[in-house]
Amino acid sequence: MDKRVIFAVAGSGKTSSIIDRINDDSRCLIITYTDNNTRQLKNRIIQKLGKIPEGTRVYSYFTFLYSFCYRPLYGYGLKTKGINFNYPLPRDAQKTRKDTRKHYIDKNNRLFSSRIAKLLIEFGVVPEVIQRIEQFFDFVCVDEVQDFAANDFNFICELANTNVEMLLVGDFYQHTFDTSRDGQTQKTLHDRFDKYCEKLVNAGFSIDLESLSHSYRCSPSICSFVEEGLGIEIQSHREDEVEVYLVVDEQEIEKVYSDDSVVKLFYRKSYSYSGNVENWGNTKGLDHYQDVCVVLNPTTFKAFNSGELAKLAPTTKNKLYVACTRAKGNLYFVSEEILKETRDNS
């Protein structure tokens, strides 16, 4: 059975590559990280088929982990009541041994979100999870795989032993969230792309860097900016040119800012600005923007000017990459400081 991880670039049709595989009689399990993404995937399936096929299930990761794996197979005896998502883990739970109840479950009988996967692994439930997946599905898809971290990454690796076709898609450089964290567990997972791939290969997955290496969304102009500026490989299916530049003229800044057809993307705290605004990190997976204006905070503005964007901290760089690659049309950059001044003056 094919077990493949496709590393995709932004706007290359990750979601479509999953949707294309679904038809009326599919017995397909689709796991995404966020609820937002789950809703989007469901909508896309409904657009295509008019309904979610009977044999197909779309779960957000924690629903899958808790309601499909843990609860049916191991929940009856433990009498737990839901999940505790607080981070970090309470100190006393951190110090417990991995064969004790307290290691996984809090005082109110809730499971620690970061250790559900670990519980399944440590208590030998994985073979039953695999059996259960094989019973209901012929095909497993995991979207946004780069966000799986710590015990959750280990769990996904364990699932490589499932005797059904598996397709994991993600974009290493769009890693902006972690499903969970747990001390030293897989702490350095996302430091280097080659090491990351090695772990997946060892688990039994093959790596595919070709299938989704070209973006439909972004024009070659944006792609070459991302490759040269951020050092992230991305190519385009398109041949048209768009404008990519730093806006410096105050009047033009004002014009871009007040134009609601251009989305303004901020490093953070976009809520303190009015109009069509959003944070970089929140736009992952969104595909409805035309022209985009990326507002650079002091750190990134400095790096932009000195041509050292590629050296930014990985999380910041990844978020910036996400923001830049939202644009189907033009991509503008504006310094947040200058924008603020302009706003204060007017």
Partner 1 sequence: MQYIKKLKIINFKRFKKFEVEFTSEINTIIGDNEAGKSSILEAIEMVAHGSRNKVETIGIESLLNKDSVTEFFVGGKSFESLPEIHLEVYLSDDSNPDLIGKHNSDNASVSGLHMIYYPSEDLANEITQVLAEDNDNFPFEFYVVKFITFNGEVYSGYRRFLKCLTIDSSQINSEYARKEYIKTVYNSTVDHAARVGLKNEYRQQKGRFKENNLKTINDDLGDYDFAIRSGSKFNLETDITLIQNEIPIDERGKGQQCFIKTEFALTRNADKKAIDTLLLEEPENHLSHTNMKRLISKISGSHQNQIIIATHSSLISTRLNLRNSILLNSSSDKPLRLKELSTSTAKFFMKAPDNNVLEFVLSEKVILVEGNAEYMLLDALYSKETGRSLDEDTVHIISVGGISFKRYMELAKTLEIRTAVIRDNDKAYQANCVDNYVDYVSKDIKVFSDTDNARYTFEVCMYQDNQAICDDLFSGGKIIKSPLEYMLAHKAESAFDLVDNHEEDLEVPNYIKQAIAWINE
- Report residue 16 as tokens: 């479509």
Residue 110 engages partner 1 in binding (rule: CB under 8 A): no
Q: How far apart are CA 226 and CA 336, in angstroms?
A: 20
Q: How far apart are CA 88 and CA 103, in angstroms?
A: 13
Are the C-beta atoms of residues 9 and 213 closer than 8 Å to each other?
yes
Residue 131 engages partner 1 in binding (rule: CB under 8 A): yes
- Report residue 160 as tokens: 């490589």
Residue 79 engages partner 1 in binding (rule: CB under 8 A): yes
Q: How far apart are CA 300 and CA 337, in angstroms?
A: 11
Q: Given the rule CB under 8 A, which of 125-133, 237-245, 251-259, 294-302 is the region that contacts partner 1?
A: 125-133
In the complex, the smallest distance separating the C-beta of residue 171 from partner 1, rounded to whole angstroms, is: 30
Nearer to partner 1, 108 or 306 (CB): 108
DSSP 290: S
- Report residue 198 as tokens: 């090695």
In the complex, the smallest distance separating the C-beta of residue 109 from partner 1, rounded to whole angstroms, is: 8
Candidate residues 1, 2, 72, 299; the one interacting with partner 1 per rule CB under 8 A: 72
- DSSP helix/strand/coil, 26: coil
In the complex, the smallest distance separating the C-beta of residue 116 from partner 1, rounded to whole angstroms, is: 14
Q: How far apart are CA 200 and CA 186, in angstroms?
A: 13
Q: Given the rule CB under 8 A, which of 41-49, 127-135, 220-228, 246-254 is the region that contacts partner 1?
A: 127-135
In the complex, the smallest distance separating the C-beta of residue 123 from partner 1, rounded to whole angstroms, is: 13
Candidate residues 19, 73, 160, 197; the one interacting with partner 1 per rule CB under 8 A: 73
Q: Bridge-partner residues for 266, per DSSP?
A: 279
Residue 128 engages partner 1 in binding (rule: CB under 8 A): yes
Q: What is the CA radius of gyration of the chain?
A: 22
Q: How far apart are CA 103 and CA 94, in angstroms?
A: 7
Residue from 150, 149, 171, 176 nearest 314 by CA: 176
**Scanning residues 26 to 65, which ones bind partner 1 (CB under 8 A)?**
55, 57
Nearer to partner 1, 54 or 252 (CB): 54
Nearer to partner 1, 74 or 267 (CB): 74
Residue 249 engages partner 1 in binding (rule: CB under 8 A): no
Count Cβ atoms within 10 A of the Cβ of residue 181 and give its class: 0-12 exposed, 13-18 middle, 19 or more buried.
middle
Residue 237 engages partner 1 in binding (rule: CB under 8 A): no
Nearer to partner 1, 102 or 132 (CB): 132
In the complex, the smallest distance separating the C-beta of residue 55 from partner 1, rounded to whole angstroms, is: 8
Q: Given the rule CB under 8 A, which of 91-99, 124-132, 141-149, 197-205 is the region that contacts partner 1?
A: 124-132
- Report residue 313 as tokens: 């901290």
Residue 139 engages partner 1 in binding (rule: CB under 8 A): no
Residue 275 engages partner 1 in binding (rule: CB under 8 A): no
**Scanning residues 185 to 214, which ones bind partner 1 (CB under 8 A)?**
none
In the complex, the smallest distance separating the C-beta of residue 75 from partner 1, rounded to whole angstroms, is: 5
- Report residue 257 as tokens: 């800012």
Alpha-helical segments (H) within the chain: 14-19, 35-49, 61-63, 71-78, 91-95, 116-122, 126-136, 150-158, 193-203, 220-225, 250-258, 298-306, 314-324, 336-345
Number of residues engaging partner 1 in binding (CB under 8 A): 16
In the complex, the smallest distance separating the C-beta of residue 80 from partner 1, rounded to whole angstroms, is: 10
- DSSP 3-state percent helix, strand, coil across the chain (nearest 5): 45, 15, 40
Q: Binding residues for partner 1, per CB under 8 A?
A: 55, 57, 67-68, 71-76, 79, 128, 131-132, 135-136
